[in-house]
């Protein structure tokens, strides 16, 4: 079945440093979604990418979808303490449910 | 608009006991999902439903049953709880299967002793 791998599992950064998490699928995806889960909270949708090579920005967050639609990345510029949490990518194709990566837990040291 | 709600928020069970987790959504979504979240394992799909009266198995369905008698509700049952089912359970809903946001409930923390 479809697998979505995400690295790194953990990332500790100093406040102000940049952060990137990477997502790779075993199959071609029709879309990739990113979710954020704050400590003790539930996953919250951030963004969806559907086009090959697509790049979207949300303030300090930049999301990319690979040309082959099998990989994606989330980059945060100048991290802040409010960025703390676990970031999940999730994708699917055809008439199948979303498959989530295992997530990257981000810690920001002030 | 409450979105997706889950009851209970927290529960402690003894091995062999049964319980039902309730998920309700007020967004008129066709699709509903149950996930479990364990440390380092991400979100794993247990069962899902594509509409009232339907259910389908996800990645880790063993030991769980589900029912979708009403469109707005999705129940997850544990007939005989095991310590391996200690986890945080999240319910989610969406209006279709692909290319749409999933909305998650606040979660139920379950401890099986």
Provide the pLDDT for residue A44: 98
Residue B101 in contact with partner chain A when CB distance is under 8 A: yes
HSE-up of B91 (CA within 13 Å, CB side)? 28
Tell me the C-alpha distance between B106 and A63, whole Å.
26
pLDDT in tens, A15-38: 999 999 999 999 999 999 999 999
Confidence of residue A110 (pLDDT cuts 50, 70, 90): very high
Tell me the C-alpha distance between A4 and A90, whole Å.
7
CB nearest B102 (choices: A96, A98, A101)? A98
- Residue of chain A whose alpha carbon sits nearest to that of B31: A97
Confidence of residue A93 (pLDDT cuts 50, 70, 90): confident
On chain B, the residues whose CB falls within 8 A of the CB of A36 are none
On chain B, the residues whose CB falls within 8 A of the CB of A45 are 101-103
Does residue B106 come out as left (phi exceeding 0), alpha (psi in the -120 to 50 range) or beta?
alpha
Percent of chain A with pLDDT over 90: 94
Q: What is the interface size between A and B, counted as CB pairs within 8 Å? A: 58
- Higher-pLDDT residue of A93 and B110 is B110
pLDDT in tens, chain B (113 residues): 789 999 999 999 999 999 999 999 999 999 999 999 998 889 999 999 999 999 999 999 999 999 999 999 999 999 999 999 999 999 999 998 888 899 999 999 999 99
Pairing of strands B31-38, B87-94: antiparallel
CB nearest A88 (choices: B33, B40, B42)? B42
pLDDT in tens, A35-66: 999 999 999 999 999 999 999 999 999 999 99
Mean pLDDT of the A75-84 span = 98
Tell me the C-alpha distance between B93 and B83, whole Å.
27
Residue A85 in contact with partner chain B when CB distance is under 8 A: no
Tell me the C-alpha distance between A107 and B98, whole Å.
31
DSSP string, A23-74: EEESS--SEEEEEEE-TTS--EEEEEE-STT-EEEETTEEEEE-TTSSEEEE
| Cβ contact A45–B103 (<8 Å) | yes
Give yes or no for a contact between A59 and A2, defined as CB atoms under 8 angstroms apart: no
Chain B: closest CA distance from residue A45 (Å):
6
**Residue of A98, A102, A104, A105 to mutate, testing the B interface (most B Cβ within 10 Å of its Cβ):** A98
DSSP string, B60-86: S-TT-EEE-SSTTEEEEEESS--GGG-
Question: Which of these, B72, B74, B62, lies nearest to B20 by C-alpha position?
Answer: B74
Examine the pLDDT at A105 and tell me if it is beyond 80.
yes
Provide the pLDDT for residue B99: 84
Mean pLDDT of the A81-108 span = 95
């Amino acid at each position: 079945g479809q697998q979505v791998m995400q690295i790194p599992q953990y990332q500790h950064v100093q406040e102000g440093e940049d952060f990137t998490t990477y997502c790779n699928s075993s199959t071609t995806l029709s879309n990739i979604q990113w979710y954020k889960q704050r400590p003790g909270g539930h996953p919250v949708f951030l963004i969806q990418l559907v086009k090959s090579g697509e790049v979207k920005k949300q303030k300090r967050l930049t999301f990319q979808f690979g040309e082959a639609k099998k990989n994606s990345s989330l980059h945060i510029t100048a991290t802040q303490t409010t960025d703390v949490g676990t970031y999940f990518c999730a994708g699917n194709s055809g008439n199948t449910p979303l498959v989530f990566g295992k997530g990257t837990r981000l810690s920001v040291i002030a | 608009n409450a979105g997706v709600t889950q009851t209970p928020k927290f529960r402690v069970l003894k091995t062999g006991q049964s319980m039902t987790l309730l998920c309700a959504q007020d967004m008129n979504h066709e699709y509903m999902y149950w996930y479990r979240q364990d440390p380092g394992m991400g979100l794993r799909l247990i069962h899902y439903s594509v509409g009232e009266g339907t259910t389908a198995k996800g990645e880790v369905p063993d030991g769980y049953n589900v029912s979708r008698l009403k469109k707005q509700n999705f129940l997850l049952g544990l007939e005989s709880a095991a310590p391996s089912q200690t986890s945080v359970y999240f319910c989610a809903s969406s209006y279709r299967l692909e290319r749409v946001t999933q909305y998650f409930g606040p979660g139920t923390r379950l401890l099986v002793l």
